Structure 1
Amino acid sequence: MSPATFLVPLGMALAGSLVIEAAASRRPSLRPGDLAIRAAGYTLITLFWFQFSWRPWLAATSCLLTLAVLAVVDRLKRKVIGEPVVFSDLALLAQVPRHPQLYYTLPLTDLRIAGPLFLGLSAIVAWYVLEPAALPEASAPRLLAILGLPAALAGLVFAALTPPAERWLRRVFPRPDLAEDVARYGLVATMMGYALRRLGESRTRPVAPTPPVGAPAGPADEVVVVVQLESFLDPARIGGPDLPLMARIRAQAAQYGRLAVPAHGAYTMRSEHAVLTGCEPETLGFGRFDPYLARKGDEPTSLARLARAAGFRTIFVHPFDRDFFDRARVFARLGFDRLVMEEDFARSPRVGPYVGDVAVAERILAEVAEGSGRTFLFSVTMENHGPWKAGRLTGIDTPLAQYVHHVANTGRAVELLIDGLAHRRATLCVFGDHAPSLPGLRSPAEGPLATDYALFRFGRNAAPSPARIDLTAARLGCVLRDALSGKTEGLRG
């Protein structure tokens, strides 16, 4: 293969990719160093596709299609969530065909998806026939080339994790600044750079000391229930009606307030991780975009680990697929002994596409009542997960009306928990994981909208008067850590 055989298609891929990104977003940086890093990303994508076909023009076209798809997804993600595409999003690709409704797309069986996919595969097959492979004729050089290119690309990854390369990467990407880095280096180079920085951090991350936990004060049947409410905030804040639950919170909760969460409209796992570990996103480095992917549940400060060490039963309740976000594996490592997942809700009523929040509350109370001894239970609800679109609820078609219908059920579920736990010594905490991604709610570019939280303390002789105390999700996790250790009755934060 002569150099021109590959360089001409590569040049087309580099120029075309730059045009695609420039047309899809803001004007790219034209500084030579930034352009060089951007071009390196495009080149690596082209080589990645080239190793499968050894057809230069097919590889160049595949690079352009990759950038076009990324640009479309990036535009949608910025509009809905206010964040560019990031490397950790690739780990979620396997979930898209299984749960298309969660990703604002259609199932693979839909003709609007299946048709273009079939045409695309047909075009690739035809291209294989029409464009000859740029491989040597002799068997030995051909085999060497076929094996050598993948080995060289893998070698680049390992080389990027050597100390000199890591020092260079730290200069280029000193800290996560996603929007700025995408504008400078492009989507592809930024995704690669962030992935390598995260890999480097995972190899050198120091082990965090486990906070000391003593035997909690109080009776042996102490209960701590924490419920993460899907897309929950006070609906009155976004033009909805008053929720009866909010009046009870202001009158009965030990403390309540706004909760600053790590994401807007999505990325439930970020809020989960912050509350369960007490770790602020800034402390996670490049693992902040998907802490479950980066840290796999290896968290010395996990509430479940601390609870188990203090003699609590630890239970996780979530009425959805146990493999989503790899939750079954991650939550077992976080310290949960019992997982109550989608299969346990097979006969539970659904409200719209998901198991209703009231059914989840009933299951929580049943789990608490079933065993003896201290219990720590963490639950994640699902009913009010987006998207909110026509056909979701019979006779209710507008997104805000659908959201309000679901959040009313959320309010009834929380009130059920309040009534069910009020007769015993218990701590109940409820909080919203993120604001709903409702159209026209606000500009995601303004940053994540705070949700609401409330913390109730039952069975105490001197209950503190309700107080509004605004917290971050991680700080709420630290407050709950105190509830498990029995350090304080007030838990003001």
Structure 2
Amino acid sequence: MSFLFATVAAFALCLAIEFGLGDVPERASRKAGDLAVRLCAYGLILLFWFVFSWRPWLAASSCVLTVAILHLVSRLKRAVIGEPLVFSDFALLPQVPRHPQLYYVPPVTSPRIAGPLLLGLAGIVLWYRIEPSLLPASAGAAVAAVAALPLGLAALIAAAGRGPLGRRLARRFPRPDVEGDLARFGLPASLIAYALRWRAERARPASVAASATVRAPGDAVVVVIQLESFLDPERLGGPHLPAMDLIRARASEYGRLRVPAHGAYTMRTEHAVLTGRAAGELGFGVFDPYLASGGNEPDSLARAARRNGYATIFVHPFHRDFFQRARVMEAFGFETLVMEEAFADAPRVGPYVGDAAFGARVRAEVAARRGPLFLFGVTMENHGPWKPGRLPGIDDPLAQYLHHVAAAGRMVEDLVAALTGLDATLCVYGDHAPALPTCRPGFGDRATDYALFRFGPAAAGAPRRVDRTADDLGRRLRAAIGRDAPSPHT
């Protein structure tokens, strides 16, 4: 009976949180079917915690606390980057203690984190001593009960990916609709359902190469640089950037680049450019394409370039394990990875390798080539967070950002100078807008800036502005790595 009372109390409090304090309380659905889905999610969370204690009120309290924390984190995330919490965010949690400088959270050793954690653990130990367990008295029955509950939950998860339960789940959640599903079913139910749908999609047979056509190499050098948090600083009220004059005067094409996220999720834009796949093609893997596919794609720019006879190099002055980049880039088709260890002696600008050192390495790779070269690089200098202590004498976040974006502009100018006279293509673009107080979510319709330069025999006429999506830019670049490849400009 205590389990029933605890469950009813937990469900009531969870509904109160979602309808009163949740991420979208003003749009929360009260329909019976939608409420049933919410309650099922609460039940799964409660049973998950019950597995560890067999104490109903402890499990109920943990369930309510879980729902409250999920909504708190979701609201905080929405305020910074304009998106609610999604299931793939949990896969990024191991990166937080390994790379705390990348996040707006103190390390685990900070009193602000360690204190509440220790108090919470002490409270749980005390609760274990106060509330009696519901485990059967006999040892055999207790062992059977302890084993049966987690096995039952595991069986339920397995059944959700196939059969009648899987089909019912697919009918409820046919495709990602984060805001709609959050309003209908609530945050916990959406997180669980999306994770199950992603798991079912991932279990399908891997795609095979969509096109293995071998073409003659295109331009002798193709360099694509993803600039961290780059956009024209004048859009943020900053000073004029000389590189923007160079872009408008000499780029074959330039304009706004509509990217899949604001302030974060670099991998979404990176994936779109390298594969040319639109968000609608990715199913529930759209939130983190690297987690979903691990680079196992129908095709990529690097793979196509290798087929056409190019050496393929990936340059990124950061850890190999971040976003699983080393493994993903090798799967994409990059033969050579130039990563953090290659920049061990490079000067830092703030906490990261400066764009000047990054650009020098790119130019060195171009100079050392022995045949056609496709190089894809990802800068790091202007990665957030921008906070006091990052740069000597500059504590304002926007001022820090503008300092770094000026360095990115100079690096672009140096690359243009180095490639002038070669049979080459240079593409530079911003992965997303910066998560700054002066650049709120939704700024510029999630648009950064890009430029496409053509040098040598391929040099085009007058520059023209062409606004694109990130995946469209990836398809456009196919023309540079294969002489007969079409340019499916849209």
TM-score (norm 2): 0.95
Match runs of 1:300-449 below 5 Å:
300-444=298-442, 448-449=445-446
Task: Provide the rounded CA distance (Å) in 2 between the counterparts of 1:461 and 1:30.
Answer: 60
Task: Provide the rounded CA distance (Å) in 1 between the counterparts of 2:454 and 2:358.
Answer: 21
Q: Given residue 278 of structure 1, which amino acid in structure 2 is its aligned partner?
A: G
1:458 aligns with 2:490: no
- How far 1:217 sits from its partner (Å)? 4.5
- How far 1:380 sits from its partner (Å)? 0.8
**Which residue, out of 210, 235, 238, partners 1:237?**
235
Asked if 1 retains the 8 angstrom alpha-carbon contact of 2:387 and 2:396, the reply is: yes
Task: Provide the rounded CA distance (Å) in 2 between the counterparts of 1:454 and 1:447.
Answer: 17
- How far 1:103 sits from its partner (Å)? 2.6
CA gap of 1:255–1:447, structure 2 versus 1, over 3 A, is: closer
Match runs of 1:153-232 below 5 Å:
153-204=153-204, 207=207, 209-217=209-217, 222-232=220-230
- How far 1:212 sits from its partner (Å)? 4.3
1:478 aligns with 2:467: no
Asked if 1 retains the 8 angstrom alpha-carbon contact of 2:316 and 2:339, the reply is: yes
Q: Which residue of 2 aligns with 1:145?
A: 145
Task: Provide the rounded CA distance (Å) in 1 between the counterparts of 2:444 and 2:83.
Answer: 9
Task: Provide the rounded CA distance (Å) in 2 between the counterparts of 1:340 and 1:113.
Answer: 35
**1:112-135 deviation per Cα after TM superposition (whole angstroms, max 9, x unaligned):** 111111111121222222222210
Q: Given residue 211 of structure 1, which amino acid in structure 2 is its aligned partner?
A: S
**1:51-101 deviation per Cα after TM superposition (whole angstroms, max 9, x unaligned):** 112121111111122112211110111111111101111101111112223
Q: How many residues are treated as equivalent by the alignment?
A: 487
Q: Given residue 8 of structure 1, which amino acid in structure 2 is its aligned partner?
A: F
**1:262-314 deviation per Cα after TM superposition (whole angstroms, max 9, x unaligned):** 11111000000000000000111111000001111101221111111111111
Asked if 2 retains the 8 angstrom alpha-carbon contact of 1:255 and 1:492, the reply is: no
Q: Structure 2: where are the runs of 5+ without partners?
A: none
- How far 1:25 sits from its partner (Å)? 2.9
1:286 aligns with 2:280: no
- How far 1:195 sits from its partner (Å)? 1.2
Asked if 1 retains the 8 angstrom alpha-carbon contact of 2:426 and 2:453, the reply is: yes
- How far 1:202 sits from its partner (Å)? 2.2
- How far 1:434 sits from its partner (Å)? 0.5
Task: Provide the rounded CA distance (Å) in 2 between the counterparts of 1:451 and 1:333.
Answer: 27
SS of equivalent to 2:477: helix
- How far 1:206 sits from its partner (Å)? 6.9
Task: Provide the rounded CA distance (Å) in 2 between the counterparts of 1:223 and 1:68.
Answer: 53
**Which residue, out of 11, 16, 19, partners 2:13?**
16
Asked if 2 retains the 8 angstrom alpha-carbon contact of 1:82 and 1:447, the reply is: no
Q: Given residue 38 of structure 1, which amino acid in structure 2 is its aligned partner?
A: R
Asked if 1 retains the 8 angstrom alpha-carbon contact of 2:55 and 2:132, the reply is: yes
SS of equivalent to 1:454: strand
Task: Provide the rounded CA distance (Å) in 2 between the counterparts of 1:407 and 1:138.
Answer: 68
1:246 aligns with 2:219: no
Q: Given residue 251 of structure 2, which amino acid in structure 1 is its aligned partner?
A: A
**1:307-332 deviation per Cα after TM superposition (whole angstroms, max 9, x unaligned):** 11111111111111111111111111
Task: Provide the rounded CA distance (Å) in 1 between the counterparts of 2:202 and 2:444.
Answer: 27
CA gap of 1:218–1:72, structure 2 versus 1, over 3 A, is: closer
Task: Provide the rounded CA distance (Å) in 2 between the counterparts of 1:134 and 1:239.
Answer: 62
SS of equivalent to 2:182: helix
SS of equivalent to 1:96: helix
Asked if 2 retains the 8 angstrom alpha-carbon contact of 1:317 and 1:339, the reply is: yes
Q: Given residue 63 of structure 1, which amino acid in structure 2 is its aligned partner?
A: C
1:111 aligns with 2:111: yes
Q: Given residue 473 of structure 2, which amino acid in structure 1 is its aligned partner?
A: L
Task: Provide the rounded CA distance (Å) in 1 between the counterparts of 2:434 and 2:94.
Answer: 24
SS of equivalent to 1:97: helix
Q: Which residue of 1 aligns with 2:127?
A: 127
TM-score (norm 1): 0.95
Asked if 2 retains the 8 angstrom alpha-carbon contact of 1:353 and 1:392, the reply is: yes
- How far 1:17 sits from its partner (Å)? 1.6
Q: Given residue 419 of structure 2, which amino acid in structure 1 is its aligned partner?
A: L
Task: Provide the rounded CA distance (Å) in 1 between the counterparts of 2:96 and 2:40.
Answer: 29
- How far 1:236 sits from its partner (Å)? 0.9
Task: Provide the rounded CA distance (Å) in 2 between the counterparts of 1:185 and 1:343.
Answer: 46
Task: Provide the rounded CA distance (Å) in 2 between the counterparts of 1:12 and 1:461.
Answer: 70
**1:423-472 deviation per Cα after TM superposition (whole angstroms, max 9, x unaligned):** 3211111000011111132443x784210101111121653321111111
- How far 1:150 sits from its partner (Å)? 0.7
Task: Provide the rounded CA distance (Å) in 1 between the counterparts of 2:218 and 2:169.
Answer: 52
Task: Provide the rounded CA distance (Å) in 2 between the counterparts of 1:52 and 1:479.
Answer: 53
SS of equivalent to 2:64: helix
Task: Provide the rounded CA distance (Å) in 2 between the counterparts of 1:16 and 1:100.
Answer: 33
- When the two chains are superposed, the root-mean-square deviation of aligned CA atoms in Å is 1.8
SS of equivalent to 2:98: coil
SS of equivalent to 1:314: strand
SS of equivalent to 1:460: helix
SS of equivalent to 1:105: coil
Asked if 1 retains the 8 angstrom alpha-carbon contact of 2:80 and 2:440, the reply is: no
CA gap of 1:462–1:346, structure 2 versus 1, over 3 A, is: closer
Q: Structure 1: where are the runs of 5+ without partners?
A: none
Asked if 2 retains the 8 angstrom alpha-carbon contact of 1:264 and 1:448, the reply is: no
CA gap of 1:347–1:188, structure 2 versus 1, over 3 A, is: same
Q: Which residue of 2 aligns with 1:468?
A: 465
Task: Provide the rounded CA distance (Å) in 1 between the counterparts of 2:482 and 2:458.
Answer: 18
Q: Given residue 450 of structure 1, which amino acid in structure 2 is its aligned partner?
A: A
Task: Between 456-465 and 174-183, report the one with greater CA deviation.
Answer: 456-465
Task: Provide the rounded CA distance (Å) in 2 between the counterparts of 1:342 and 1:296.
Answer: 20
